[in-house]
Amino acid sequence: MTMALSEKGGLKRKTKPSASSIAKRVKTKHVTADDLQWKKTAKPREADLGTGLEGFLDLEEVDDVDVVYEETESGKVARFKVKGGQGQTEVEEDVSPQVKAGESSEAQVEKMDVDALPEPITFDCKTLLPSWDTFHLHPQLGRTLYAKKFTDPTPIQAQTLPLALKGKDVVGVAETGSGKTLAYGLPILHQLLTEVYSRPIPSSKVRRPVRALILAPTRELALQVSSHLNACLTPVDVEEQGTAKGEDQASNKSQSKGKGKAKAQPADEESNKPKHPPLVSVAAIVGGMSAQKQRRILSRGVDILVATPGRLWDIIQEDDELATQIENLRFLVLDEADRMIETGHYAELDNILRLTLRKSEDEVIEPENALGAEDGEPEDSKEGVRAGELQTFVFSATLSKDLQRNLKKRSRRRPRKNEKPASTLDDLLLRLDFRDPEPAVVDISPAGSVVATLTESKIECLTTDKDAYLYYFLLRYPGRTLVFLSAIDGIRRLLPLLELLGIHAFPLHSQLEQRQRLKNLDRFKSMPGAVLLATDIAARGLDIPAVDHVVHYQAPRTADAYVHRNGRTARAMRRGFSLLMCAPDERKIVRALMHSLGRHVDVDLTVAEEEEIPEMPVELYMLDKLKARLQLAREIDAVQHKVKKENHERNWLKEAAEAMEIELDSDLASDDDGAADAPSKQKRKALAAKTAALKAELKAMLAQPLVARGVSTRYITSGVHSIADDLITGEYHENMVGLKKVEAGTDLVPAKTRKQKAKAKARAKEEEQEEWGGIGSQ
Ligand SMILES: Nc1ncnc2c1ncn2[C@@H]1O[C@H](COP(=O)(O)OP(=O)(O)OP(=O)(O)O)[C@@H](O)[C@H]1O
């Protein structure tokens, strides 16, 4: 360690931890800087040639001293550990904030209060996870993948991991639910874990700089990504294979020691281990939650920050240190970039991305043919970013081919400083300052953007009948169902109806408090037959286990929205089903959707028969019965709404009168049974009675079984369709007696067959007419 003292007593320092810094701390004594054993040294010849040493009168150096930094009540102090002899000596020196702000993230990471290296983790990847062995991931990650039973990487992971791990920028496009989070998450975690395991444990008192920033469009997605990555850092005992100990835990404790097949450490032994802050920490910064708490978390130091642009920009504006850290990131990820520009946070996103641009022109690799290389492969290096430079990952299920081509072509064009804010995704992505001269684009999205395990279907119906069809669907095919509506009003209208009909439904939209949003999501996740009525805030990235069905109550406005909504089901190779409800006025939108998905569409915008989404069969007889139930539910809802409105108005009037110190008429003011209150009280009573009567009627109606036509419930072996057979085979439908219990999608009517039938019918009619005409004309 060498230090030099300037005329002002400032310090010149090197902060690389030396071997001595790992030694155990012994008795310490505080001395001043003057007490150190300084030795005069010659000024270097280049000292006055712009090397930053101008103004120094003398240079002195001292050997065998380590500098470590500690946060104290009076600010950050430098402690000088003097080695040799009987022990170590500590000297305190204030570190000016200016010095801190100017430091590189690397330098800050190295400021650690050091006692020991973390205990190493081992994992026998070759034997236990041979498919992952080629990536040489950190053993902690191997353990997690093993515990989660992720025996093989998904295709997007298999293709992007080698690229990302060797330092390339990656644009990854793959179907929904294909494991994109880990495709970018594993390389980041690998890098950070490798770093922390090769250096001493960081002090909890020093704010660690953010190394990776992951931007996500919605709060729920950001929280999910953060918890997903955190789960990868949770200690896992390999011997408890399959039990996935610690899986999905949101917090990561200090990483545990263990060898490939080591036994689980007893709990008490574990708890006796010295506690230190997580070696790699992940945190989410999202709107709708306490900003103060999030600032506190940031001040403790976060290695991987997952954020929504709005809240992050709010915090950055008040936190210069964070802004500096963002300028010196090691990893930047845009998850679902295309959605981010739709969420109304474009300006914030743009501001954040501007912080990540290169500062000096020299840093830009400007190839000669940067703009000239149209579709041809540029001739430059394909090695990725330079060591320690920012690596950028952009992932989505929907990035157009044109955009990918443009990205590749113009990746080396440095965004101009005064460029006007862009308004499209293309502009946004083209502004990203990829350090890699040629970012890798990996697009393995399926043709037509339909996930192989997804069954699509549609129902053509009137807008006014959509409630009945939805209710029919929910009863006919029970399962966890996510219903997308295009407006919050629709959710507010539908929710009480479904509740009255005995269906467990929860809302999810932007006007709910964040706490409520998360609570509803949790309830939906934990109830197998629950229904989530959501706007498109739930369309992107949410990884809810086993969503059986997705229903588009209204046709989505864009093809991307259709793909992402569908992507909430049929994830990770599971089967899924989607139903598109199409009213006559939505047909055009649906055709345009199919067109932009690249499904074959004729010139007149009619979808080719074989490409059309098959229709879901509906027992119209049942539907009529359901309409009657719905009608009653609507009446109840209307009365309840009236009662609520009246109560609200009365309360409002009372409060307003109190505030203005005015006396109200007695019938308005009184809650008592007084005579003056009689008319309004009577009205209220009448409404309550009406509600009760209607509810009783609905209850009775709901208790009546829905019986299919031609089925006898009295004699189960008789009727056109015998229920007894279904009871024996286990195909008995609990909600609709007489119908077979089948999974949604198994009884679809292919569009082709339907059209062929219609055509055959039309042809037969024509022939009939021809024959008739023939006879008549003879
Ligand atoms: N290698 C793997 N093997 C098995 N399951 C995996 C693997 N990698 C990830 N998964 C699981 O697959 C599910 C979907 O992953 P993830 O949420 O990352 O998908 P995605 O591609 O980001 O989807 P979307 O486009 O909808 O955001 C998650 O539950 C995840 O735990």
Q: What is the pLDDT of residues 737-757, one digit of tens each?
A: 777 788 888 878 766 555 556
For residue 129, give the amino acid letter. L
Q: Is 187 in the pocket of ligand 1 (CB under 6 A)?
A: no
Span of 6-10, 133-137, 686-690 with lowest mean pLDDT: 6-10
Q: Mean pLDDT score of the chain, rounded to an integer?
A: 75
Span of 10-14, 325-329, 500-504, 687-691 with lowest mean pLDDT: 10-14
The Cα 141–Cα 454 span in angstroms is 30
In which band, very low, low, confident or very high, does the pLDDT at 87 lie, cut at 50, 70 and 90? Answer: very low
Q: What is the pLDDT of residue 193?
A: 94
Check pLDDT > 80 for residue 202: no
In which band, very low, low, confident or very high, does the pLDDT at 654 lie, cut at 50, 70 and 90? Answer: confident
Task: Report how far ligand 1's centroid is from the alpha carbon of 177 (Å).
Answer: 5
Q: What is the pLDDT of residue 10?
A: 37
Q: What is the pLDDT of residue 149?
A: 92
Q: Is 535 in the pocket of ligand 1 (CB under 6 A)?
A: no
Check pLDDT > 80 for residue 46: no
Instruction: Record the tokens describing residue 653, joined without a space.
Output: 């009037």
Q: Is 345 in the pocket of ligand 1 (CB under 6 A)?
A: no
**Residue 394's Cα: distance from chain center in Å?**
14
Element (H, E) at 658: helix 620-660
Q: Is 179 in the pocket of ligand 1 (CB under 6 A)?
A: yes
Check pLDDT > 50 for residue 773: no
Q: What is the pLDDT of residues 564-584, one digit of tens each?
A: 999 999 988 889 999 999 999
Task: Report how far ligand 1's centroid is from the alpha carbon of 572 (Å).
Answer: 6
Q: How far is CA 371 from CA 343, 374, 391, 411, 710, in A?
A: 31, 7, 22, 9, 72
Task: Report how far ligand 1's centroid is from the alpha carbon of 528 (Å).
Answer: 20
Mutate to test the pocket of ligand 1, among 232, 571, 574 (most ligand atoms within 8 A of CB): 571
Task: Report how far ligand 1's centroid is from the alpha carbon of 149 (Å).
Answer: 13
Residue bearing tokens 């009627």: 697
Closest residue by CA, ligand 1 atom 10: 179
Return the closest-CA partner of residue 298 out of 286, 310, 285: 285
Q: What is the pLDDT of residue 372?
A: 36
Return the closest-CA partner of residue 502 out of 644, 629, 641, 688: 629
Span of 266-280, 434-448, 583-597, 688-702 with lowest mean pLDDT: 266-280
DSSP letters for 196-240: HHTSPPPPTTSPPPP-EEEE-SSHHHHHHHHHHHHHTTS---TTS
Q: Is 150 in the pocket of ligand 1 (CB under 6 A)?
A: yes
Q: Is 638 in the pocket of ligand 1 (CB under 6 A)?
A: no
| Close Cβ partners of 364 (under 8 Å, ≥ 6 residues apart) | 358, 412, 414
- The interface pTM score, or ipTM, of the predicted complex is 0.98
What pairing do the DSSP bridges indicate for beta strands 4-5 and 59-61?
Answer: unpaired
Task: Report how far ligand 1's centroid is from the alpha carbon of 38 (Å).
Answer: 59
> Highest-confidence range of 343-352, 463-472, 637-646, by mean pLDDT?
463-472
Compare 74 and 228 and report the one with higher pLDDT: 228
Compare 492 and 9 and report the one with higher pLDDT: 492
Task: Report how far ligand 1's centroid is from the alpha carbon of 282 (Å).
Answer: 19
Q: Is 172 in the pocket of ligand 1 (CB under 6 A)?
A: no
Closest atom of ligand 1 to 156 CA is: 21
Check pLDDT > 60 for residue 195: yes
Q: What is the pLDDT of residue 12?
A: 38
Mutate to test the pocket of ligand 1, among 226, 232, 543, 568 (most ligand atoms within 8 A of CB): 543
For residue 477, give the amino acid letter. Y
Give the number of other CB atoms < 10 A from CB of residue 671: 9
Q: What is the mean pLDDT of residues 411-434?
A: 59
Q: What is the pLDDT of residue 710?
A: 66
Q: What is the mean pLDDT of residues 339-347?
A: 70
Q: Is 153 in the pocket of ligand 1 (CB under 6 A)?
A: yes
Check pLDDT > 80 for residue 317: yes
| Close Cβ partners of 88 (under 8 Å, ≥ 6 residues apart) | 25, 26, 27, 28, 81, 82
Check pLDDT > 60 for residue 155: yes
Q: Is 398 in the pocket of ligand 1 (CB under 6 A)?
A: no
The Cα 569–Cα 546 span in angstroms is 7
Instruction: Record the tokens describing residue 627, joined without a space.
Output: 């309409």
Q: What is the pLDDT of residues 99-110, one digit of tens each?
A: 333 344 444 444
The Cα 133–Cα 162 span in angstroms is 12
Closest atom of ligand 1 to 154 CA is: 1
Q: Is 572 in the pocket of ligand 1 (CB under 6 A)?
A: yes
Closest residue by CA, ligand 1 atom 2: 150
Closest residue by CA, ligand 1 atom 30: 179
The Cα 346–Cα 732 span in angstroms is 52
Q: Is 546 in the pocket of ligand 1 (CB under 6 A)?
A: no
The Cα 20–Cα 27 span in angstroms is 15
Q: What is the pLDDT of residue 92?
A: 35
Closest residue by CA, ligand 1 atom 4: 150
Q: What percent of the chain lies above the pLDDT cut of 70?
A: 61
Check pLDDT > 70 for residue 427: no
Q: What is the pLDDT of residues 239-251, one digit of tens each?
A: 644 433 333 333 3
Task: Report how far ligand 1's centroid is from the alpha carbon of 331 (Å).
Answer: 20
For residue 43, give the amino acid letter. K
Task: Report how far ligand 1's centroid is from the alpha carbon of 173 (Å).
Answer: 13
Q: What is the pLDDT of residue 142?
A: 95
| Close Cβ partners of 15 (under 8 Å, ≥ 6 residues apart) | 67, 107, 110, 111
Q: What is the mean pLDDT of residues 630-644?
A: 92
The Cα 250–Cα 306 span in angstroms is 13
In which band, very low, low, confident or very high, does the pLDDT at 761 lie, cut at 50, 70 and 90? Answer: low
Residue bearing tokens 């025996």: 151
Q: What is the pLDDT of residue 685?
A: 82
Task: Report how far ligand 1's centroid is from the alpha carbon of 128 (Å).
Answer: 21
The Cα 599–Cα 449 span in angstroms is 9
Q: Is 185 in the pocket of ligand 1 (CB under 6 A)?
A: no
Task: Report how far ligand 1's centroid is from the alpha carbon of 178 (Å).
Answer: 5
Q: What is the pLDDT of residue 15?
A: 35
Q: Is 178 in the pocket of ligand 1 (CB under 6 A)?
A: yes
Closest atom of ligand 1 to 541 CA is: 27
The sign of the torsion formed by the CA atoms of 157, 158, 164, 165 equals positive
In which band, very low, low, confident or very high, does the pLDDT at 426 lie, cut at 50, 70 and 90? Answer: low
Q: Is 180 in the pocket of ligand 1 (CB under 6 A)?
A: yes
Q: Is 160 in the pocket of ligand 1 (CB under 6 A)?
A: no
Q: Is 176 in the pocket of ligand 1 (CB under 6 A)?
A: yes
Q: What is the pLDDT of residue 341?
A: 67
Closest residue by CA, ligand 1 atom 3: 150
Task: Report how far ligand 1's centroid is from the alpha carbon of 180 (Å).
Answer: 6
Q: What is the pLDDT of residue 236?
A: 82
Return the closest-CA partner of residue 260 out of 121, 124, 119: 124
Q: What is the pLDDT of residue 375?
A: 41
Check pLDDT > 70 for residue 355: yes
In which band, very low, low, confident or very high, does the pLDDT at 461 lie, cut at 50, 70 and 90? Answer: very high
Q: Is 21 in the pocket of ligand 1 (CB under 6 A)?
A: no
Q: What is the mean pLDDT of residues 149-177?
A: 94
Closest atom of ligand 1 to 157 CA is: 1
